[in-house]
A and B are shown apart, each in its own frame.
Chain A
Amino acid sequence: AQSVAQPEDQVNVAEGNPLTVKCTYSVSGNPYLFWYVQYPNRGLQFLLKYITGDNLVKGSYGFEAEFNKSQTSFHLKKPSALVSDSALYFCAVRDRNNAGNMLTFGGGTRLMVKP
């Protein structure tokens, strides 16, 4: 079984400040990890993924995430938030041993960046 937890329903940050959106996961094997962003009335846009290699993954729009195996975490970060980053963010995981390509999503975290 695979699961994802995003402990914060909402994160508020001032423009220009660093932001962190938290994600922890649970899989029986090794994970593939993803972050997606959703704007109102739109589908999900892919931000970044961890498959293997460096624990620090860089993605679109200046976002990055750090894979921490011991803490089973994959927190999303950005050094300097923009108002336009305000959106709904989803963390997702897939067990590498999973024969299909089914993702399990976290509950989502709404990021509010205030000017």
Chain B
Amino acid sequence: GAVVSQHPSRVICKSGTSVKIECRSLDFQATTMFWYRQFPKKSLMLMATSNEGSKATYEQGVEKDKFLINHASLTLSTLTVTSAHPEDSSFYICSASQDRGQPQHFGDGTRLSIL
């Protein structure tokens, strides 16, 4: 149980393109979803916390107009990287949680490469 699906797994696109990443909880309802960014050989950096039906809470230094997050239902959150540039290239990972005290369950990540 507790499967989180993240799609796509890899994206390669030109600079200026907007890219949408989906995160779905397949067998549970996720009251909260999290979006992380991971640089090579580094730990996870929390970008934002998203609760169903409300605006996402962004961490300090993360541009909310650059990284648009939508959590339209209890099983789906999306991250859109708008007008992506090479410096946005990274590994993006989502996670979902049912409630407090339960572990976050992670998607398999999306490797974004902007040319």
Interface residues of chain A, those whose CB is within 8 Å of chain B, are 32, 34, 36, 41-46, 49, 51, 90, 96, 100-103, 105-108
- CB neighbours (8 Å) of B77 from chain A are none
- Partner-contacting stretch, out of B13-21, B65-73, B81-89, B104-112: B104-112
Q: How distant is B69 from chain A, measured CB to nearest CB, in Å?
A: 15
- Contact indicator B108/A102 (Cβ below 8 Å): no
- Contact indicator B107/A102 (Cβ below 8 Å): no
- Contact indicator B97/A101 (Cβ below 8 Å): yes
- Contact indicator B109/A41 (Cβ below 8 Å): yes
DSSP class of A's interface residues: helix, strand, loop or mixed? loop
- Contact indicator B99/A101 (Cβ below 8 Å): yes
- Contact indicator A44/B99 (Cβ below 8 Å): no
Contact status of A32 and B101, CB under 8 A, knowing A42-B108, A43-B108: yes
Q: How distant is A22 from chain B, measured CB to nearest CB, in Å?
A: 15
- Contact indicator B108/A105 (Cβ below 8 Å): no
CA distance A100 to B108 in the complex (A): 23
- CB neighbours (8 Å) of B104 from chain A are 34, 46, 101, 103
